[in-house]
Chain A
Amino acid sequence: RKEVEQDPGPFNVPEGATVAFNCTYSNSASQSFFWYRQDCRKEPKLLMSVYSSGNEDGRFTAQLNRASQYISLLIRDSKLSDSATYLCVVTLTTDSWGKLQFGAGTQVVVTP
């Protein structure tokens, strides 16, 4: 079983619409959670950290459910530039800070 699992998509989203997708993690000891964005053939870039109380950054909202061990990302008012692969990322413990476990990514395609 993979440590971090994501629906690969693609999610085809009309411009201006809302899209949401989840990620599940297997290790209950996981401590920190992130969403990264990766464009084709590029390095991943941090989109946002995910906090227990849920958090919002502009059009992006992230939620964490520790009991069910899943993280979600919601994108409102989708832009063409939101087309990318979104990577769910988990770290286990604070003493292995920087050692990230990646999901395989969810592809989002925003269409005009």
Chain B
Amino acid sequence: GAVVSQHPSRVICKSGTSVKIECRSLDFQATTMFWYRQFPKQSLMLMATSNEGSKATYEQGVEKDKFLINHASLTLSTLTVTSAHPEDSSFYICSAPKDRAESGNTIYFGEGSWLTVV
């Protein structure tokens, strides 16, 4: 079963509105989660590192005021796309590293969220 759950899987919103995407670690605590974005036929690009209890760390070129990240608990990180525009339409996906005693850190991905801004 899923280890990291992401919701919603698909969302359509109007231009100018905000959309929240949730990423949950289901059976482990994740002090760090990562948010990626993937445009068609392109690689997944890291947007930001979500840190529980502190501010997110954004990659160069990613607007922190537009992509709000909140990591309020050890199992939940949220990404809010504010004032969405059609060019924000993309596949957004989160990941979380889980420490596995038998094999060290393993990185689990959420199912991803398809955002379409109309």
A residues adjacent to B (C-beta < 8 A): 2, 4, 8, 41-46, 87, 97-105
B residues adjacent to A (C-beta < 8 A): 32, 34, 36, 41-46, 49, 91, 93, 95-97, 105-107, 109-112, 114
Chain B nearest CB, measured from A10 CB (Å): 11
Main secondary structure, interface of A, reads: loop
Main secondary structure, interface of B, reads: strand
Task: Decide if B93 touches A103 in the complex (CB within 8 Å).
Answer: no
Chain A nearest CB, measured from B21 CB (Å): 13
Task: Decide if A45 touches B109 in the complex (CB within 8 Å).
Answer: yes
Q: Which of B43, B93, B107 has the most CB of A within 10 A?
A: B43
Cβ contacts under 8 Å, B36 to chain A = 100, 102
Chain A nearest CB, measured from B27 CB (Å): 17
